Amino acid sequence: MGSYILGRLAALVPVLFGLSVIVFLIMALIPGDPATAILGPYATPENVARLRQDLGLDHSLPVRYATWLGNVMTGDLGRSSSLNRPVLDEVTERFAATLVLAGAALVLASVLGLLAGILSAVRQFGLADKLVTLAVLVGISMPTFWLGLLLILVFAVRWRLLPVSGMVSTYGGGDLPDLLWHLALPAATLAIVAAGVIARLTRSAMLEVLRQDFVRTARAKGLTELRVVFGHALRAAMVTVIPVIGIQAGFVLGGAVYIETVFQWPGIGRMLVNAIATRDVLLVQGGVLVVAASYVLFNLLADILQRLLDPRIAP
């Protein structure tokens, strides 16, 4: 198992290097001068040239990339031009809020998706199976941002049950119940689509497992249906489902970019939107790099967990 983990970690090196190249080039090749965008159209040429020198924009593209990558490898993501603070500090603070939102959405999506997929498989071709299939198709077909606006309209504006935006209440908030109260709508919005994908894959995996000999043997021994499904069939099906959950972890993390804008959640997605609007190159590069690296690490954890459940998987 140790050699498997080391091999997977070694395989991440070229992936992360490729991510750094893509993240850097995306921002570097965007039309327009970041220095002019930061200072405004009425800035003098001298001030623009001075800012370009401070940002390192007066060097060639390969030199700028080598300098930026060298700083990143030492933990220095640069300094935000719009916030005038280290990028690493800003990204760390914002990413913590994003992890709260994405983690809650992933847990909710996994629970709902697994339960819906199991129910659909056990009641194949029944009413429950048809209802779950319909709900899954509707859920995965909805644009996430539109679903968020719809939930705000229903639960916050019309019924006044949940807050419209923010992470905590402006006055007298900040405790765990207040956080969960604000977390309900954005987490549910992110979870619905991911839950639909997990439910579909869980149903397929469970149908395949339920037809296998060891399940028939467990039933022949007189085990209850509940124990057969959750104690035997689900564990075998999880080998197939876990990689899907890992992929959905990346989906909810990436989906937080626009969901945080809809719900005004103070996470890294909202930070990136503001940084792009102000052409804060280093802040965008640092934020995107952290999100992309987290996506890769989540999939690595899913692969390791899959290997733990089924050691027969080839390294």
Structure confidence at residue 251 as a pLDDT band (50, 70, 90): confident
CATH code at position 277: 1.10.3720.10
Domain that holds residue 34: 2-73
pTM of the model: 0.88
Is 8 within a domain? yes
Task: Report how far apart the first and last C-alpha atoms of the chain are (Å, whole number).
Answer: 9
Residues 144 and 58 placed together within one structural domain of the fold: no
Report, as an integer, the average pLDDT of 138-155.
90
Q: Which of 183, 111, 107, 186 is nearest to 147 (CA)?
A: 186
Residues 37 and 128 placed together within one structural domain of the fold: no
Q: Which of 272, 275, 277 is nearest to 254 (CA)?
A: 272
- Helix or strand or coil: residue 235? helix
Which span out of 163-172, 237-246, 297-306 was modeled with the highest average pLDDT?
237-246
Is 123 within a domain? yes
In this predicted model, what pLDDT tens digit does every residue of 35-64 receive, in sequence order? 887 787 788 888 888 888 887 888 888 999
Q: What gap in Å lies between CA 236 and CA 98, rounded to an integer?
A: 32
Residues 120 and 252 placed together within one structural domain of the fold: yes
Helices (H), the chain: 2-28, 34-39, 45-55, 61-73, 87-122, 127-141, 144-151, 176-210, 213-220, 225-227, 234-263, 268-277, 281-309
- The count of structural domains within the chain is 2
Residues 10 and 156 placed together within one structural domain of the fold: no
Least confident interval from 127-141, 187-201, 300-314: 300-314
Report, as an integer, the average pLDDT of 240-247.
89
pLDDT of 13 above 70: yes
Least confident interval from 81-85, 292-296, 307-311: 307-311
Report, as an integer, the average pLDDT of 234-261.
87
Q: How many other C-beta atoms lie within 10 A of the C-beta of residue 286? A: 28
| Residue 315 near residue 7, CB atoms below 8 Å | yes
Q: What per-residue string of b and e applies to 221-250 under the rule 16 or more CB within 10 Å gives b? A: eeeeeeebbeebbbebbbbbbbebbbbbbb
Report, as an integer, the average pLDDT of 144-168.
91
Percent of the chain with pLDDT over 90: 45
**93 contacts: CB under 8 Å, gap ≥ 6:** none
